[in-house]
Amino acid sequence: MKPTIVRNIKRAGADVVKALGDMGVATVHEAQGRTGLMRPFMRPIYPTAKVSGSAVTVLCHPGDNLMIHAAMEQAKAGDILVVTTVSESTDGMFGDLLAVSARSRGVVGLVIDAGVRDVADLTAMDFPVWSRAIHSQGTVKNTPGSVNVPVVCAGAPVNPGDVIVGDVDGVVVVPRERAMEVAEAALPFLDNIGRERYIRETGKNPWLKKPPGK
């Protein structure tokens, strides 16, 4: 693919992103008709990792993290980097320095169909990462790739600005245009604990007026 950097992308509203995160991966996946789930080899680096945000997509050459650096320029508060490579790789493309840089820009997490390193530091920072592998293998910065183009990450299509939800159950992708619709469709899937958490965390109680069936 011709290397491309797309600078302006649309994102879903912060409210709906937060609501989807509160609901969790399994519920959101159900609510959108069981689509958008990444493969089960994508695991969090620590079991309490939990996040939602807007996708900044990054397409890299294997063993080369040049475009993660480039993507930092395009990231805004609330974004999640979604990194994939043009062919399969487990190299450790992201570590503590990039995490510090990401956090300073408000990036809230990383989903990478490749490897990650400095996991002790990332865990101490509570910077959530879902990856295919933990591997110290370093990378070069030689070969151009793309930022904010459509990608397939761990089997799921991701467009820039899509909502990403990650927790111990995995990672699910919600298309940006459908985010509000999916959040509403998810409400009936919440059990009592989920409803209380939703009300507490969003300050809204959609069950007050319109109690969902079952």
Per-position DSSP letters for 12-71, written without gaps between them: --HHHHHHHHHH-HHHHHHHTTS-SBPPTT-EESSTT--EEEEEEEEEE-TTB-HHHHHH
Between helices 179-186 and 14-23, what is the axis angle to 10°? 40
Distance between CA atoms of residues 187 and 197, nearest Å: 12
Torsion-angle region of 6 (φ positive above 0: left; ψ -120 to 50: alpha; else: beta): beta
Distance between CA atoms of residues 32 and 125, nearest Å: 32
Residue from 105, 126, 157, 205 touching its own copies (CB under 8 A): that is: 157
Residue from 69, 106, 155, 177 touching its own copies (CB under 8 A): that is: 155
Residue 196 as a binder of its own copies (CB under 8 A): the answer is no
Size of the site for its own copies (CB under 8 A): 58
Which residues are registered as beta bridge partners of 158?
Answer: 151
CB atoms within 10 A of CB 14: 13
Residue 167 as a binder of its own copies (CB under 8 A): the answer is yes
Instruction: From 14-22, 67-75, 81-89, 178-186, give the range in contact with its own copies by CB under 8 A.
Output: 81-89
Instruction: From 5-13, 14-22, 112-120, 196-204, give the range in contact with its own copies by CB under 8 A.
Output: 112-120
Residue 185 as a binder of its own copies (CB under 8 A): the answer is no
State the minimum distance, in angstroms, from the CB of residue 76 to its own copies. Answer: 26
Residue from 21, 53, 109, 115 touching its own copies (CB under 8 A): that is: 115
Torsion-angle region of 34 (φ positive above 0: left; ψ -120 to 50: alpha; else: beta): left
What is the footprint of its own copies within residues 10-69 (CB under 8 A)?
24-26, 29-30, 33-35, 37, 39-40, 43, 46-47, 61-64
Residue 184 as a binder of its own copies (CB under 8 A): the answer is no
Residue 145 as a binder of its own copies (CB under 8 A): the answer is no
Residue (of 200, 172, 53) closest to 186 by Cα position: 172
User: Rule CB under 8 A: which residues touch its own copies?
Assistant: 1-2, 24-26, 29-30, 33-35, 37, 39-40, 43, 46-47, 61-64, 86-92, 95-97, 115, 117-121, 123, 133-138, 140, 142-143, 150, 152, 155-157, 167-170, 172, 191, 193
